[in-house]
């Protein structure tokens, strides 16, 4: 009986919000940085970003001009460790500091994802150095110029 009561109390505290704040109510987030720029056809643009350690992950919401248009430009973004100096586009192998940590934008299957998630803080194993930083690589469409924007936030906890 005692075990069932404890399980019920834990469940209600973490999910229901009956006894205490729910998982969603305990979630914290904040702004890190907003970035906007332009990328020419076939160009790769990079941005060094300070990792916000307040949360367990940094989420980068990505958008670009013409992304919803069937004939619009197709961009992709990648995140690597800050020490990456010679990033190459997959399927070429990127190892060490240039290994891809996260990806968003246009992917091979034609699906567009608008959020890039980079993990480091509060229990995640990646190590980004001191101060923790990473690089976001914006890869332009092969034939079209366009503008883009990134809005990066920190989040904790990301999953309860």
Residue 51: inside a domain: yes
Distance CA 109, CA 134 (A): 26
Residue 10: inside a domain: no
Residue 31: inside a domain: yes
The confidence band for 5, taking pLDDT boundaries of 50, 70 and 90, is very low
Range of the domain at 35: 27-156
* CATH number of the structural domain spanning residue 144: 2.60.120.380
CA 79 vs. chain centroid, Å, equals 8
Read off the pLDDT of residues 29-81 as tens digits, 9 standing for 90 and up. 889 999 999 999 999 999 999 988 887 889 999 999 998 888 889 999 999 99
Residue 93: inside a domain: yes
Residue 136: inside a domain: yes
Read off the pLDDT of residues 84-118 as tens digits, 9 standing for 90 and up. 998 998 778 788 999 999 999 986 666 678 898 99
Structurally, the chain folds into a number of domains equal to 1
The predicted model scores a pTM of: 0.78
Residue 89: inside a domain: yes
Distance CA 67, CA 113 (A): 11
Residue 21: inside a domain: no
- For 7-145, strand residue ranges (E) read 28-39, 44-50, 57-64, 76-81, 102-106, 112-113, 115-119, 133-139
Distance CA 12, CA 57 (A): 26
Residue 20: inside a domain: no
Map tokens 């990066």 to a residue: 152
């Amino acid at each position: 009986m005692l075990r069932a009561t404890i399980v019920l109390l834990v469940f209600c505290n973490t999910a229901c919000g009956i006894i205490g704040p729910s998982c969603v109510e305990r979630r914290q987030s904040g702004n890190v940085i907003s970035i906007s720029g332009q990328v020419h056809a076939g160009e790769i643009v990079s941005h060094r970003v300070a990792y916000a350690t307040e949360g367990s992950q940094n989420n980068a919401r990505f958008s670009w001009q013409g992304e919803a248009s069937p004939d619009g430009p197709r961009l992709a973004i990648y995140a690597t460790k800050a020490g990456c100096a010679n990033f190459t586009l997959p399927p070429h192998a990127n190892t060490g500091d240039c290994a891809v940590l996260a990806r968003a934008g246009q992917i091979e299957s034609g699906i567009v994802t608008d959020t890039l998630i980079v993990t480091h803080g509060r229990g995640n194993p990646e190590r980004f150095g001191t101060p923790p930083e990473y690089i976001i690589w914006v890869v332009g469409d092969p034939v079209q110029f366009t503008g883009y924007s990134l809005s990066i936030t920190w989040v904790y906890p990301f999953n309860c």
